[in-house]
Amino acid sequence: MKTLQQLLCWLSRNATVFQALSAIFVALFTLALVVITRRYARTAERSLKLAQQQYEREWTPDVRVQVLASDTSKSIFPQLVVSNLSRAAASVHTLRFRRVRGANADTLGVQTFPLNELLPGGSSLTLNIFLKLQAYVFGTHATEGELIAVSAGYYCSGKDLTTDWADFVISLGPLDIKPTNKTLPGL
């Protein structure tokens, strides 16, 4: 009991010191909360930016074409593989052929063939391009060993887009192609 009375007397005599110490403690505690809150806000902002980048990467249209040579595919005809690497579905509406190198490479421009294929997100589509390629080759008088490029036009996410150009060399014996495994930037 005596110690309790002594403690109360000491507190009453040193009340201003006790108030000052508690004010310092509250200020330090508030400063620590400010620092922790700032770190939390930065972490939340970085997480939001990362989530936005991931969302844009997954839903941004990304359709690509690859040419398969007749002798390496399961078919005897040249084929084109159109792959949709995004989550959004795409509607492939045209195939475009153009000469990259050859006698009339600059004068003929691009020849377009209509197409109507739905390509769900994350899937591939294999197209037999023999008839379209034959029409292009004989319609433009292509020569042996000429470098031809193909591209696909597609609708995705409300936009009309085109793929990069995939080029290949034609062989006119029996109509055949040899992919070069290069892509050229789209027009």
Q: Identify the domain boundary among 15, 39, 58.
A: 58
Residue 152 has pLDDT above 80, yes or no: yes
Residue position matching structure tokens 């040419």: 67
pLDDT-derived band at 187, boundaries 50, 70, 90: very low
pLDDT in tens, 47-77: 999 999 998 888 888 899 988 866 554 556 7
Residues 110 and 157 in one domain: yes
Which range of residues forms the domain containing residue 161? 61-184
Quick one: which H or E segment has residue 166? Answer: strand 165-171
Q: Which residue has the tokens 């696909």?
A: 152
Residues 91 and 19 in one domain: no
Give yes or no: residues 98 and 170 share one domain.
yes
Query: In which residue are the tokens 């294999």 written?
Result: 126
Same domain membership, residue 91 and residue 170: yes
Tell me the three state secondary structure of residue 99. Answer: strand
Number of domains in the chain: 2
Q: Are residues 92 and 123 in the same domain?
A: yes
Distance set, CA 126 to CA 91, 108, 117, 136, 153 (Å): 14, 27, 11, 19, 15
Pair 108, 164 in one domain: yes
Q: Tell the burial category of 89 from Cβ atoms under 10 Å away from its Cβ (0-12, 13-18, 19+).
A: middle
Query: What are phi and psi for residue 53, nearest 5 degrees?
Result: -60, -45
pLDDT digits (tens, 9 = 90+) for 84-109: 998 899 999 999 988 776 555 555 67
Q: What is the pLDDT of residues 156-185, one digit of tens each?
A: 988 899 998 888 777 655 555 666 655 555
Same domain, 27 and 10: yes
Same domain, 70 and 51: no
Q: How far is CA 127 from the centre of its chain?
A: 23
* pLDDT score at 53: 93
Last-in-domain residue among 41, 58, 75: 58
Q: Which two tokens stand for residue 82?
A: 């159109």
Percent pLDDT > 70 in the chain is: 79
* Token pair recorded at residue 12: 């009453």
Domain co-membership, 93 together with 130: yes
Please check whether residue 78 is in contact with residue 69, taking contact to mean a CB–CB distance below 8 angstroms: yes
Do 95 and 156 sit in the same domain of this protein?
Answer: yes
- pLDDT bin (cut points 50, 70, 90) of residue 25 is very high
Domain boundary, last residue among 58, 73, 92: 58
- Asked if residue 163 and residue 111 are part of one domain, the reply reads yes
Residues 92 and 128 in one domain: yes
pLDDT at 3: 84
pLDDT of 167 reads 81
